Amino acid sequence: MSPVLKTLCLGATPFVLAGCSGELSTLDPAGPRAANLALLWWVMFWGSVVLFALVMILFFLAYFRSALLARFTPAHWIIGGGLILPIPVLVLLTGTALVLGEQLLPHGQAPLRIGVEASRWEWRFTYPNGVNSAEEVVHIPAGQPVDFEISAADVIHSFWVPRLGGKIDAVPGHVNVIRLEADEPGTYWGQCAEYCGEGHDTMFFRVEAHPPEVFAAMMEDNAGE
């Protein structure tokens, strides 16, 4: 590798690692549902690291210690590498995804339901008391699950608050429900995750999580915003 290329690669590493945290990082979860998704990501990541290492070790042995592998026939490789190795790995990964995925679903009624309507290129939130939020900010109580009932006015958008949970499509004429929860009071950024036109890249919104008593007082004051 040339010194210039090496310097570039080493120099770029911090920028790549910077993706592991920040306002829109799924690897910096701030709630139980986002934590499930981050855990699934880590399970997949470490699973792939182990498999990659295993294949590289076999590759190394094939080159430098070929006598060690000479006892295995082609049938051993096909059955072992093609069936015995991938089946438990896939069953384990699928099982993990199913169990963690089930826990994301909005079973039963959450205490609070907030309406969301996406349109080019803004978000409109409606609280149970009928008040609409302005300036694309939505307030929620921290430590409590909140259901967002999501729809769209024009084209398909996607509602995504990476630090609180998964994303879900906002489809015209259809209501999708996603349950999110923030562990602590704070500000969590969200964005449209489905390309929806020229204003897509600025279609952000903010979730402000407050202590439950503060949130209750805001609702009583009719302060949707």
Shortest distance, position 40 Cβ to another protein, whole Å: 15
The backbone torsions φ and ψ at residue 207, rounded to the nearest 5 degrees and listed phi first, read -105, 120
38 contact partners, CB below 8 Å, separation of at least 6: 26, 27, 28, 29
Question: Is 91 one of the binding residues for another protein (CB under 8 A)?
Answer: yes
Shortest distance, position 87 Cβ to another protein, whole Å: 9
Question: Is 212 one of the binding residues for another protein (CB under 8 A)?
Answer: no
For 36, the 3-state DSSP assignment is helix
- What tokens does 113 get? 């339901």
CA–CA gap between residue 176 and residue 149 (Å, rounded): 6
Shortest distance, position 94 Cβ to another protein, whole Å: 8
Contact pick of 48, 65, 102, 211 for another protein (by CB under 8 A): 102
Question: Is 47 one of the binding residues for another protein (CB under 8 A)?
Answer: no
Q: Which of 138, 142, 146 is nearest to 177 (CA)?
A: 146
Helix (H) or strand (E) holding 188: strand 186-192
The piece of 6-14, 59-67, 97-105, 151-159 that touches another protein (CB under 8 A) is: 97-105
Shortest distance, position 83 Cβ to another protein, whole Å: 9
CA–CA gap between residue 191 and residue 206 (Å, rounded): 8
**Number of chain positions touching another protein (CB under 8 A):** 7
CA–CA gap between residue 103 and residue 30 (Å, rounded): 16
Cβ proximity to another protein, 122 vs 149, nearer residue:
149
Rounded to whole angstroms, what are the CA distances from 61 to 25, 52, 66, 74, 135? 39, 14, 6, 16, 61
Question: Is 76 one of the binding residues for another protein (CB under 8 A)?
Answer: no
Cβ proximity to another protein, 111 vs 197, nearer residue:
111
Shortest distance, position 107 Cβ to another protein, whole Å: 7
Shortest distance, position 91 Cβ to another protein, whole Å: 7
Within residues 155-194, the interface with another protein by CB under 8 A covers 177
Angle between helices 86-102 and 32-64 (to 10 degrees): 170
Q: Which amino acid is at 116?
A: V
The piece of 56-64, 98-106, 126-134, 201-209 that touches another protein (CB under 8 A) is: 98-106
Question: Is 105 one of the binding residues for another protein (CB under 8 A)?
Answer: yes
Q: Which of 224, 181, 188 is nearest to 206 (CA)?
A: 188
Q: Which residues bind another protein (CB under 8 A)?
A: 91, 98, 102, 105-107, 177
